[in-house]
Structure 1
Amino acid sequence: MTPSDEQLVQESLKDKNKFALLVERYEQRLLRYIKRLTGRDNNQSEDILQEVFIKIYRNLNDFDTNLKFSSWAYRITHNEAINHARKIKETIPLETDDKETANLINILKSDTNIPEEISQKELAEKVQKIIEKLPKKYRDVIILYYLEDKDYQEISDILKKPTSTIGTLLSRAKAKFKQLSHKHDLV
């Protein structure tokens, strides 16, 4: 039976070699999230990821067992990615692949009238540009909810905002997305 994240945290406190299992479990997910937040290449994203795992390891004793480990790890990752962006003071382009963008498009299609004749690739590019133009608070919830498949509670834990606020932000993000999609002739 595969141990839970919380069990691995407890085991990692006693045996540092067990931490490698947590790293293995979260490495690809957190790296993908960093790329989406920062738009950085693999090397820079991996550097940020390394800092994330160092922080996670150093703070394992402070892990609040009332939270999900994944939410806590994503929160640390979010902070590190944002700190990195602040250091270099750049606008952060959105990093996603066409499949993930297509999933987001399908979800958002229910709220918009996207022409059928537009190609998936063209549509994905337009959606990425629109998401990049969203205010950060809306962009964060869109990425976490639609691209990282996080629920309201997890997003709440990651962004340190009440779940009711997450619902409001997501609703406003969709409305803003719709507004921007009109400007970009997506609808």
Structure 2
Amino acid sequence: METTPDISPKSLSEEEATWLHLWQTDQSKFMEVVFKRFYVPLGRTVNRMLNDQDATEDIVQEVFIKIWNNRENLQFNFSIKAYLYRSAINSALNYLEKSKKTVTLESDSMPEPSHSDVEETFNLKEVETHIQDALNNLPPACKAIFVLSRYEDMSYREIAESLQLSPKTIENQMGKALKLMRDYLSIYVRNMMVLLF
């Protein structure tokens, strides 16, 4: 029987308590409610990690399929949200490992902007692209933690619970992620400064 780590029922939010009650009384309704609540946020998180819509859809659907297929043996003894995020992120990390989608950080991979591109340099879409490139260059664990913190607005405690890591590990990984992203984006900023001055 697959179980999740114990957590005191008092520490569950009202929403979590409702889901837990549904799981125990009407698993079909539970799946419907939880699917509607988490399909899009899980997809957003996984897609930011993989940057591959097809793989994202497969992974998120598989998370829900596994819950349904294991419903006879699965017991939720803690946060359902944490369980879903942990399952989705672990699957995404496994996918990255199998497909070797990690890209090495190379400073010469940044194109040198020309003077005619000054206006375009400030294009929001371009900035977003550089941020996504920096995100894609993070190690998978750092990337997962960064996405949960910055895009899903999860606290370090929530991330630690979801990934079954200590809050200190989350803090250290976020520090590492921020440093790597700053280093990567500093190349872009230096190129912009050359254009401006």
Task: Spell out structure 1 runs of 4+ moving beyond 4 A.
Answer: none
Q: Greater CA deviation, 169-178 or 144-153? A: 169-178
Tell me how large the CA RMSD over aligned residues is: 2.4
What CA distance in whole angstroms lies between the structure 1 residues aligned with 2:135 and 2:57? 24
Partner of 1:31: 43
Which one-letter code corresponds to 1:50 in the other structure? Q
User: In structure 2, what is the equivalent of residue 72 of structure 1?
Assistant: 83
What's the CA shift for 1:92?
Answer: 5.4
Q: Judging changes above 3 Å, is the alpha-carbon distance between structure 1 residues 151 and 179 closer, same or farther for their aligned structure 2 residues? A: same
Q: Does residue 10 of the first structure (1) align with residue 14 of the second (2)?
A: no
Say if 1:134 and 1:177, in contact at 8 Å, map to a contact too.
Answer: yes
The one-letter amino acid of 1:171's match is: G
Q: What code does the residue aligned with 2:146 have?
A: I
Q: Which has the higher contact order (CA 8 A, sep 6+)?
A: 2
In 2: Cα distance, 1:83 partner to 1:137 partner: 11
State the match for 1:109 in structure 2.
none
Query: Could you tell me the percent identity over the aligned residues?
Result: 25
Q: Deviations over 1:107-126 (max 9, x none)?
A: xxxxxxxxxx7221111111
2:183 aligned to which of 174, 179, 182: 179
Structure exhibiting the larger radius of gyration computed from Cα positions: 2
Give the length in aligned residue pairs.
158
Question: Per-residue deviation at 1:54?
Answer: 2.1
Secondary structure at the aligned position of 1:91 is classed as coil
Alignment of 1:30-69 (within 5 A): 30-41=42-53, 43-57=54-68, 58=70, 61-65=74-78, 68-69=79-80
Q: List runs of 5+ in structure 2 lacking aligned partners.
A: 1-13, 104-120
TM-score (norm. length: structure 2): 0.70
Q: How far did residue 44 of structure 1 move?
A: 3.7
Q: Deviations over 1:86-108 (max 9, x none)?
A: 44x23158xxxxxxxxxxxxxxx
Q: TM-score, normalised by structure 1?
A: 0.73
Stretches of structure 1 that go unaligned for 5 or more consecutive residues are 94-116
Q: Does 1:157 align with 2:168?
A: no
